[in-house]
Structure 1
């Protein structure tokens, strides 16, 4: 498979493994451009990912509940992180990005109302030669690494 120009290594660029909801067809919606953003939230004391996902970082995608193969990658082209919000502010934030997120009803219930939210716009999505990764006991739905090669099997 040919390597795209955007994939050239860049100093300070992180690589992320991001789980997408298979029931909500998130990957399919990204591929078909029915959604352009993904969302993460936290009910605790800080913004999800703590600002560690940045513009130009590379994201690899795997679907939950499937064969756990990484099949696509893209680039984060925009990051919007909130300060601590009330439930009403959180719902308004999710509503503001409703078109770009294209959330299922279950996803909407999961994210709207969280104290902290972050949305990530994905660009240059492309298929990659599917590969497995070392999941170990990590149950996070977003894994940050210097290189995807570090967790590739």
Structure 2
């Protein structure tokens, strides 16, 4: 997939396809209100999604290691993106949202210490008519599209 530029300074809603960690039971935790936020991080020079995920955007979920079937969607109701952080600041950021994130030990190790972090609060989570999506060669765990139908099989 080519890098999309349509989202930059575009009004309206984007649609996101996001991988949830099956081993950490992220989808199950969201469904049972045991977690309300998901996290992404980057070790590079900028925030992971760089402002491209916005409040009221639609977010669709697929689980890692699965059969590429999208089963649920929600709405992003809050976005908190960090500035560049030291390892200690990064750990403090993760701990600030610990209850909302409900991370497994492995997830905590993965995210705490990253230079940039962002958390996304998910609301209005609902089951949808499931569909498979076309992964092609895209290995990203967060895909932004103008229309989710463009990546359905």
1:142 Cα offset (Å): 0.1
CA distance in 2, matches of 1:107, 1:142: 16
Structure 2 partner of 1:95: 95
Q: Structure 2: any 5+ residue segments left out of the alignment?
A: 1-10
Alignment of 1:55-74 (within 5 A): 55-74=55-74
1:67 Cα offset (Å): 1.6
Runs of 4+ in structure 1 displaced over 6 angstroms? none
TM-score for the superposition, normalised by structure 2:
0.92
CA distance in 2, matches of 1:124, 1:149: 20
CA distance in 2, matches of 1:96, 1:111: 13
TM-score for the superposition, normalised by structure 1:
0.92
Alignment of 1:3-42 (within 5 A): 12-42=12-42
CA distance in 1, matches of 2:124, 2:40: 20
- Number of matched pairs: 143
CA distance in 2, matches of 1:83, 1:50: 11
Structure 2 partner of 1:140: 140
Alignment of 1:74-153 (within 5 A): 74-153=74-153
Q: Structure 1: any 5+ residue segments left out of the alignment?
A: 1-10
